[in-house]
A and B are shown apart, each in its own frame.
Chain A
Amino acid sequence: MSGQALWFISRATGVVSIVLLTLVVCLGMVTAGRRRPHGESATVVMGLHRWLSLGMLVFLGTHIVTAIADGYVSIGWLSVLVPFTSGYETLLVGLGTLGVDLLVVLLVTSYLRHRIPEHRWRLIHWLSYAMWLVALGHGFFMGTSDQPVLRVVSIACAVVGGLMVSWRVIASHSDGERRREIDAQEWT
């Protein structure tokens, strides 16, 4: 396959990856921020959140492999996991690598959730926001001006994700309110 074709595939799969990642993170926020009681979709949302995160790996894997294999730019295999070791666009590719590192930690801890203390799983899962931001940064700044669609997609993902985060932070519901109200009382 020609270098140019590989490069094209890399960018295409990169775009799909960031879209899927944004979707996965949003689905996680839907679960976490849910009003109770609610409709029948809780399981569907949870299932999609889990399985899309795995499905995304196919696109992400292709994105990484084709970017390294195309030979057009020098990104070594080390850069898959060790950030800021790429000759090409050290910082920006490094962000992508950082995102992959965080994703690996997230996936492994989630797969092993029932074998690790819950507080540790929760702390690490909060890192998913950092991972998403890092991936967005990577995607946005790597998109060049001659292909605006890459930047537009990144911005769209940022906006959608940003709106979800706002909802998560601002929206209140009686369940959470009652919990917070009681938690603020004297308990020690």
Chain B
Amino acid sequence: MPDSSEGVRIAVDRVLCTGHGVCAQTLPGAIVLDEWGYPVIRSEVVDPEAATLAVKLCPARALYRR
């Protein structure tokens, strides 16, 4: 289990994802959006607190911790 200084891995359930784009705002830099609003993961490892909030706020429940 990674400690908070190391970060946690996030992933997108691509079937659930409908391109709301909240993750790109809650995890700026780690996730950017393509021209149709779907996430491109630039960095899989993110700050744990940011990850918790981002996972909670995804309207489609598509973002999850690995």
Contacts and interface: CB of A to CB of B under 8 A. Distances in A.
B21 A42 contact: yes
Contacts, number: 46
B37 A46 contact: no
A21 B16 CA distance: 27
Interface string A1-38: 00000000000000000000000000000011010111
Contacts of B22: 42-43, 46
Determine chain A's interface SS by DSSP, over half rule.
Answer: helix
A36 B61 contact: no
Interface residues of A, number: 17
Given A118-B61, A175-B18, A43 B26 contact: yes
A42 B17 CA distance: 14
B12 to A, nearest CB: 15
A46 B36 contact: no
Given A118-B16, A175-B36, A37 B21 contact: yes
Contact of B25 (A36, A43, A118): A43
Interface in B22-63: 22, 25-26, 33, 35-38, 55-57, 59, 61
A38 B22 CA distance: 11
Interface of A: 31-32, 34, 36-38, 40, 42-43, 46-47, 50, 113-114, 118, 121, 175
Sorted nearest first, the 9 A-B pairs with minimum C-beta distance are A37-B37, A36-B37, A36-B19, A43-B25, A42-B22, A42-B21, A43-B22, A31-B59, A42-B20
